[in-house]
């Protein structure tokens, strides 16, 4: 509808490829410029620029016109097509010619002509508009880089200590495992899921887009860290200190409500927050199991397909302190050594040490044992916990603990398994939530979408995630599999690091630019 006003046949606006080439000609760009629209991410900026130049070619120079062209070009294009506005010629060519006139007048010393050209310059933007457009473009560019290419994250908890420390700031590539199209389209730019100070979500769930992922540069690798959206974060209670999944609270309500008064109020009021996939909390863990693997933990050691896996270099466990005789080392000296060894906790007295234990990696344990021969440091064991451990089925999985867990098969796309009442707890959430089926158990039978089911074929791949701080990590042992569509990206490197997440305690200079792809 707009092309005929620029003396271009309307039919060319309906031919893919030709329409964009003609569009380039109308605004004064070479036709090859249209090829840039095929370049992912870049095409977003090229398209926005072409839309702005199109309305300017019809004499629409105001900020509101440019904004309308960027926000929803078809609307302003339609308005121009149906109005009396005339095509003034390719804006880029006309603007270039006007600039040349100003330069020529300046070079030849024609002061009167120069003053007139500058004063009547239709393309001149005011000071405030220049600043506003620069800020808008910067936010726009940063938002798209964050959404599609690289995003910055900070490590808030010690679940990956000592590989990735509290206070580490990471750059994460979203391209390595395949770019995800955004599901949520209405949001506050540059915020993930909360608006600071306003205690509200930073987005509107609907309208939304269907999920799609572009081809990956590489697959998710076993024993490498990865970032993903918390799978059970679709329905949560949110306190000032953390998020609780609804299922997590329901399974152990008395304990959680007694320990967190704020949570108790949320539960009593039914204040549940629901979140789409791309707005769930971000987690970073180590991928220890990939699709099709059989994973088992035996006495803290991970076995994949019955083969023992190496521990990460800085894997941590909780250790208890005991004495075999009089100690020569003071608790004050011990704390100084712990800080020197970059441990992340301190205790005031020996009584605290003996009562609470300590989270350490093998190198730290070795150094501490060397301080005093009477100091005995051993790993704390963990009892079975079938209620709080996935799949939360004490009847069929009664003896699982965080140190002795499984075996468990990790689903792979296209694979079919038999399902029954003894194993359905493992895959119930996958079938019902992640793969959007209606699952019901009645009269001792399993029904999927209203039909009795004896088997199930998985629609996507799944992964198993664990923190390197094995005794202090809420991970797949607590909430199960990580679906492929929840994967965000690959950690690249630490670009900044503060001690214990607090800059007042100092900066860890030795960690800046340290690779995050740690073993």
- What is d(CA 356, CA 360) in angstroms, rounded to the nearest whole number? 13
Per-residue confidence (pLDDT) for residue 254, from 0 to 100: 84
Measured between alpha carbons, how far is residue 200 from residues 141, 194, 231, 450, 515 in Å?
A: 25, 6, 21, 38, 35
DSSP code, position 498: B
Per-residue confidence (pLDDT) for residue 39, from 0 to 100: 80
**Buried-state track 187-197, b at ≥16 Cβ within 10 A, e below 16:** bbeeebbbeee
pLDDT < 70 stretches in the chain: 41, 344-356, 517-519
Per-residue confidence (pLDDT) for residue 519, from 0 to 100: 54
Task: Specify the residue for token string 């960690």.
Answer: 511
Beta strands of 291-385 (E only): which ranges?
294-298, 301-304, 307-308, 317-323, 358-360, 375-379
Per-residue confidence (pLDDT) for residue 107, from 0 to 100: 87
DSSP code, position 507: B
Closest C-alpha among 495, 467, 518 to residue 152: 495
The token pair at 460 is 């996507």
Residues 94/88, Cβ–Cβ less than 8 Å = yes
Per-residue confidence (pLDDT) for residue 196, from 0 to 100: 86
Closest C-alpha among 346, 412, 337, 419 to residue 372: 337
State the pTM of this model.
0.79
φ, ψ dihedrals at 398, nearest 5°: -80, -20
Which tens digit of pLDDT belongs to each residue from 317-369?
Answer: 988 888 888 888 887 887 788 778 877 666 666 666 666 678 888 888 898 88
């Amino acid at each position: 509808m707009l092309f005929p006003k620029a003396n271009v046949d309307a039919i060319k606006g309906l031919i893919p490829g030709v329409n964009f080439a003609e569009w380039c000609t109308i605004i004064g760009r070479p036709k090859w410029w249209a090829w840039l629209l095929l370049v992912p991410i870049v095409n977003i900026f090229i398209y926005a620029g072409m839309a702005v130049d199109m309305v300017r070619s019809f004499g629409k120079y105001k900020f509101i016109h440019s904004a309308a062209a960027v926000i929803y070009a078809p609307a302003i294009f339609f308005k121009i097509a149906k109005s009396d506005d005339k095509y003034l010629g390719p804006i880029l060519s006309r603007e270039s010619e006007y600039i040349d006139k100003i330069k020529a007048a300046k070079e030849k010393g024609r002061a009167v002509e120069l003053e007139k050209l500058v004063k009547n310059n239709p393309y001149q933007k005011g000071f405030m508009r220049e600043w506003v457009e620069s800020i808008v473009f910067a936010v726009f560019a940063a938002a798209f880089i964050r959404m599609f290419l690289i995003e910055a994250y900070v490590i808030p908890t010690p679940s990956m200590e000592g590989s990735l420390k509290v206070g580490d700031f990471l750059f994460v590539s979203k391209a390595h495992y395949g770019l995800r199209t955004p599901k949520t389209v209405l949001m506050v730019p540059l915020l993930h899921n909360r608006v600071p100070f306003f205690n509200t979500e930073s987005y509107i769930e609907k309208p939304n887009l269907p999920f799609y992922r572009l081809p990956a540069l590489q697959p998710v690798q076993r024993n490498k860290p990865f970032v993903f959206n918390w799978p059970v974060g679709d329905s949560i209670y949110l306190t000032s200190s953390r998020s609780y999944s609804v299922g997590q609270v329901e399974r152990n309500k008395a304990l959680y409500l007694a320990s967190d008064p704020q949570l108790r109020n949320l539960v009593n009021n039914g204040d549940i927050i629901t979140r789409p996939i791309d707005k769930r909390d971000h987690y970073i863990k180590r991928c220890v199991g990939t699709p099709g693997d059989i994973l088992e933990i035996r006495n803290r050691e991970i076995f994949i397909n019955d083969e023992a896996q190496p521990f990460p270099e800085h894997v941590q466990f909780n250790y208890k302190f005991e004495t075999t005789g009089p100690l020569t080392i003071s608790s004050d000296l011990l704390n100084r050594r712990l800080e020197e060894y970059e441990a992340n906790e301190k205790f005031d007295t020996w009584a605290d040490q003996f009562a609470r234990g300590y989270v350490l990696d093998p190198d730290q344990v070795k150094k501490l044992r060397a301080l005093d021969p009477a100091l005995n440091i051993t790993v704390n064991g963990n009892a079975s916990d079938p209620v709080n451990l996935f799949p939360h089925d004490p009847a069929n999985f009664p003896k699982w603990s965080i140190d002795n867990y499984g075996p468990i098969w990790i689903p792979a796309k296209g694979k079919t398994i038999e399902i029954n009442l003894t194993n359905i707890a493992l895959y119930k959430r996958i079938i019902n939530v992640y793969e959007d089926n209606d699952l019901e158990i009645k009269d001792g039978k399993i029904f999927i979408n209203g039909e009795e089911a004896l088997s199930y074929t998985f629609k996507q791949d799944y992964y198993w995630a664990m923190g390197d701080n094995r005794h202090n990590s809420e991970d797949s042992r607590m909430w199960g599999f990580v679906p492929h569509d929840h994967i965000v990206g690959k950690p690249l490197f630490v670009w900044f690091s503060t001690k214990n997440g607090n800059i007042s305690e100092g900066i860890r200079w030795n960690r800046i630019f340290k690779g995050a792809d740690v073993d």
